[in-house]
Each structure stands twice: as structure tokens, then as C-alpha cells.
Structure 1
Amino acid sequence: MSTSLYNSQQDEKILWLRLCDGDRDAFGEIYRRYFPLLFRYCIRFTTDRSLVKDMLQDFFSQLFLQRTGLAMPVNMKSYLLVSARRKLFRYLAQSAKLPAGLDEGAAAIFDLELSPESILIHRQHTEQANRLLQQKLHTLTLRQKEAIYLRFYENLTYEEIAEIMVLKEVKYARTLVYRAIAELKTLLAPNESALMFH
């Protein structure tokens, strides 16, 4: 099946059904499309790139081996992010890289860096403004960073963010994002006049 047929949400359902039927081409397409996305997301929780690669290889192997028992996800992207996140936390716990008492609802680290795709950056910003924004991103809480990443870097809905981050209600996802943006605005405000003259 041509990759051009996999473009819409409907075609992703067909892709998933073909995976469940054991179609290796469908599995290869899911791997090709989602491995980079999952790697970019998971590497923000740990600096151990090898662990993340091993975890994802294991994750995709299990996906294929357990394909007959898989239910049709409403959204493949958020389903895979939820599943990979859970598996990563288990891997980190097993490798003693997850601090004691930390569960799936929290993270030891979450590295958030500026991205050209992020709507937080506007083209008219100077290099200095981007550096300042990067510094301010590091002042956000780990949960705020993760919510910002999922919302603006991966374009997920608040419902999907709540599911991925194991939040009890969707409003908590909205609150995390709104507070992070408000905090960034507050932190950047004292520097706005300085940036205007450079």
C-alpha cells in the first residue's frame, strides 16, 4: 500500500487494522512515522539515548507481537505517546534512573528547548530574545515543560495531553499550559524594553 494512502485519520485506521492483521509493511510505516517522534519526546526525560533507543525497539517489537489483541485507538499519535511514556518510566525505574517514589504522573527531568516549529517563537524575535526565552523555559516546572512541549511542539489537544500526562481532568492540562505561558510573559516583561534597543 502506498504511503500516500496513509495521510488522513481514516487511513491511519486502515494502517492500524493492517498492522493487527500482521501486515509488515503497515508495521514498517508506523515505525518510520512514529519512531522519530517518540524518540524526541522520550529523550526529554533522560540523557541516556541508548536506553531510549532500546526501550523503543522493545516497544515496537511488542507492538507487533501483541498486534492481535490491540484495540483501535481513537488517535494513533496520542496512543503511542501514552504507551511509550509508560514503558519509558518502567525502563527508568528498572535501571534505577527514576528517583524513589516517582510514578508515571511525574518526571525526574524534562528538557525543553526552543524549536523552529514552536509558536512561542516569532520570526521577528532577535537572537537575543530567543536566548532569553530559552533561559526562561528552564525556570518552568517539569510538568509545565512537558505540557508546553506536547501542546506547541506536537500540536496535541488538551484532552490528549491530560491522557498522556495522567491528569485526572482536562482542565488541569489547560491550567498547566496557561500558567506556563503567563509565567513566561511575566518573566520576559522586565526584559522587553532592553530587547527593543538591541
Structure 2
Amino acid sequence: MTTSTHYPQHDDQYLWALLSKGDREAFGEVYRRYFPLLFRYCIRFTVDRGLVTDMLQDFFSQLYQKSAGLSFPENLKSYLMVSARRKLFRYLQKSAQLPASLDESTFSAFALELSPESILINRQHTEHTTRRLQQTLNSLTLRQKEAIYLRFYENLTYEEIAGVMVLKEVKYARTLIYRAIAELKELLAPEVSALMLR
């Protein structure tokens, strides 16, 4: 009878140290913790769930094979998101879902939906207002939607967002989010005014 190892919930550095020595249980724990998060993120770039699943299986397999001797990244979550995002783009290129030259400005979609847990939703909102808010989210640029997702759905810092999205400076991450929020406020202003007059 085997007993499973207990790993501290937030000690990624400890896990990584074991993983870099080829510890299979540590790898299993990294996989368990981060596969769902990476899947939720990557599936927003494509509706092809099979492609994302295959890519992530390949991604984690390579992570295990190449982890020996790797130094611990400053932030494991951000590191894995950056790496998985890069690998996903290569998969999308091979499947002809992206142009041959990797230019993020040519991406056609990044799905960003409202969720009950999102800070953007309020229980008092009417169905019409919620629908209007979703339409407004859909009108944001792909990069704005990705930045909003990383900030409010995954709770990444501006520094981490800049790293994941391969932005040259942290201020670009802030600008993307501030502009997105400004657009949301502007587009929803009539709805808010109407609610206040009721």
C-alpha cells in the first residue's frame, strides 16, 4: 500500500526542487495544480479543446523531461503560463489556425465571459444589463481581454501580466487594463444612468 506525499499548498519552490531531481510524485502534484489553470487560459484562444489538451499533455511531458537542473523561476504560475502560451501558439500555427509568421495582432479571438465569481457582476444587475456587459466585453481588443482575464480572473500582478503577454514594459500591461476598464465604463454609462433613474 503506497501513501501519497503531502506537499505544502503554496510551496512551489519545494515542489520544483523535487521535480528538478526527477521526482515523479512532485511532477504529478505540479500537473494536478496547474493543468486546470493552463487549460482554462489556453482554451480562450481556440475552441479546439482537443488541440489544447494534446498541447498541454506534450507541454507537461517535456517539462518533466527537461526539468533536471532547471533553476526555480521567480513565479512558477507565470512561468508555466508564459511557456504554455508560447507552445499553444506554435500548435495553432501548425494547425493553420494562425498565420505562418507569429504575430499576436492577427489573432481572431480571445474568449472572455462573465462568471458568477467575477468582480464585474453584481447580483442586482438585470439580465439586460448583464447581456449588455458581455457584449461590451466582446468589443474589447483581444489583448485587452487577455489582460483583463489575467488580472481579474487569475489575479496576476501587472508585472506578471507583462511577462505572460511578452510586453516590453510593465506600464503596457497597466495601460491595456486601464483602457479596457475605461471603455467598459464609457459603454455602460447609459445602462448605469438608467438603473439609477429607476
Q: What's the TM-score once normalised by structure 2's chain length?
A: 0.92
Aligned: 1:2 with 2:6: yes
Aligned: 1:83 with 2:83: yes
Distance change in 2, residues 1:162/1:43 (3 Å): same
Q: Which 10-residue stretch deviates more, 128-137 or 12-21? A: 128-137
CA contact (8 A) 1:162 1:173 kept: yes
Shift of 1:197: 6.5
For residues 52 and 184 of structure 1, the distance between their equivalents in structure 2, rounded to whole angstroms, comes to 30
For residues 104 and 81 of structure 2, the distance between their equivalents in structure 1, rounded to whole angstroms, comes to 13
Shift of 1:108: 3.1
Note the alpha carbon deviations across 1:25-66, whole angstroms, 9 max, x for none: 111111111101000000010111100000000000000011
CA contact (8 A) 1:106 1:143 kept: no
Q: Which 10-residue stretch deviates more, 184-193 or 99-108? A: 99-108
For residues 27 and 124 of structure 1, the distance between their equivalents in structure 2, rounded to whole angstroms, comes to 44
Match of 1:124 in 2: 124
| Runs (5+) with no aligned partner, structure 1 | none
Name the SS of the counterpart of 1:121 in structure 2: coil
Aligned: 1:165 with 2:169: no
Q: Find runs of 4+ consecutive structure 1 residues off by over 6 angstroms.
A: none
Name the SS of the counterpart of 1:138 in structure 2: helix
For residues 129 and 69 of structure 1, the distance between their equivalents in structure 2, rounded to whole angstroms, comes to 52
Shift of 1:191: 1.8
- Tell me the amino acid that sits aligned with residue 128 of structure 1: H
Match of 1:190 in 2: 190
For residues 42 and 147 of structure 1, the distance between their equivalents in structure 2, rounded to whole angstroms, comes to 14
Shift of 1:126: 3.0
Shift of 1:195: 3.7
CA contact (8 A) 1:86 1:104 kept: no
* Paired residue total: 194
Note the alpha carbon deviations across 1:5-38, whole angstroms, 9 max, x for none: 2x23xx2100010111111111111111110100
For residues 105 and 76 of structure 1, the distance between their equivalents in structure 2, rounded to whole angstroms, comes to 27
Q: What's the TM-score once normalised by structure 1's chain length?
A: 0.92
Name the SS of the counterpart of 2:26 in structure 1: helix
Distance change in 2, residues 1:190/1:104 (3 Å): closer
Shift of 1:169: 0.4
| Runs (5+) with no aligned partner, structure 2 | none
